[in-house]
């Protein structure tokens, strides 16, 4: 699947990420290549965001985000939590089926 195949609501997750962290935006976009449909992509995005929330220090350090993008641990954790809520809102129609 390509990001062009995502609904406007799902694609807005990538747009939201891009406003804060280009690295995360790229990762979320790349996840679509491994997915057959939007629901699968949303589940993978949610899993990735949970990992960031669980260990934001690791994510910031691994990608050198403070130096490269000026993003600190609290900012990336807040972004991941915000995106996670957005994923839940987007997934709600899929969750009922």
The answer to the question of residue 66 being in a domain is yes
The answer to the question of residue 74 being in a domain is yes
How confident is the model at residue 35, as a pLDDT? 96
Task: Report the C-alpha gap between 68 and 48 in whole angstroms.
Answer: 21
Q: What pLDDT tens digit does each residue of the chain (97 aa) get?
A: 999 999 999 999 999 999 999 999 999 999 999 999 999 999 999 999 999 999 999 999 999 999 999 999 999 999 999 999 999 999 976 554 4
Residue 42 structural domain: 3-90
The answer to the question of residue 18 being in a domain is yes
The answer to the question of residue 43 being in a domain is yes
Tokens representing 65 are 């985000």
How many structural domains compose the chain?
1
Q: How many residues does the chain have?
A: 97
The answer to the question of residue 95 being in a domain is no
């Amino acid at each position: 699947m390509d990001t062009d195949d995502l609904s406007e609501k799902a694609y807005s997750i990538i747009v939201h990420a891009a406003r804060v962290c280009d690295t995360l935006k790229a990762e979320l976009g790349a996840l679509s290549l491994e997915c057959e449909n939007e629901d699968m992509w949303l589940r993978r995005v949610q899993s990735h965001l949970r990992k960031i929330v669980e260990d934001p220090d690791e994510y910031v350090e691994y990608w050198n985000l403070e130096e490269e993008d000026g993003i600190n641990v609290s900012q990336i954790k807040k972004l991941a939590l915000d995106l996670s809520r957005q994923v839940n809102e987007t997934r709600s129609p899929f969750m009922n089926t």
